[in-house]
Amino acid sequence: MERQAAANRLWQHGLHEDNVRYQQGNLFLVAQSLLAVAYSTILTSGSDTQPARVIAAFGIALTVIWVYVGHRHRRYSAALQRRIKSAVPDYAETSATCPPRGIGTTPVLVYVLPSLAAVMWTVLLLIT
C-alpha cells in the first residue's frame, strides 16, 4: 500500500512539473510578445531608435534567462521521469512501446523556441 502511495505521489509530481514547464513557456512567450509590440510601437512612432535598441537588448537577455530556466527544469524533469518509470510499471511499458523518434517536444520548447527569439532580437538589434 505504501509503495502505491509513493508511486501516486511521484505521478502527481510529474504532472505538476509538466504543468510548470508549459506555464513557464507561456510566460516567456507572452513577455517576448509584449517586448516585440513595444519595439514595433517605438519604431512606428518615428522617434529615436535608441529605446528600440534597448528593448531588443532586453529581449536577448530575457531569451538567455528563458534558456537557463528551461534547461534546469528539463534536467530536473528528466530525473523525475526516470523515477516515475521505475515506480510505475504501466508508464514504463507504455513509454517502451512508443519510443520517441527524432527531436522530442521538450527540447523544442526549451531550446528551439528561445533560439528563434534570440535570432529575432539579434536581427532587430542589428537593423536599428
CA separation for the pair 55, 1 (Å, rounded) = 55
Domain coverage including residue 115 = 2-127
CA distance to 48, 55, 113, 122, per residue, from 58 (Å): 17, 5, 17, 11
- The residues, any chain, with a CB within 8 Å of residue 35's CB and separated by 6 or more, are 55, 58, 59, 62
Residue 47 has pLDDT above 80, yes or no: no
What's the total number of domains in the chain? 1
Mean pLDDT of 30-40: 97
Task: List the one residue out of 16, 60, 9, 17 whose CA is nearest residue 35.
Answer: 60
Mean pLDDT of 10-24: 95
Q: What is the Cβ-side half-sphere exposure of residue 98, based on CA atoms within 13 angstroms? A: 5
Answer whether 0.85 is exceeded by the pTM: yes
Residue 97 has pLDDT above 80, yes or no: yes
Confidence of residue 98 (pLDDT cuts 50, 70, 90): confident
Q: What is the pLDDT of residue 44?
A: 92
Phi first, then psi: give them for residue 45, nearest 5 degrees. -75, -15
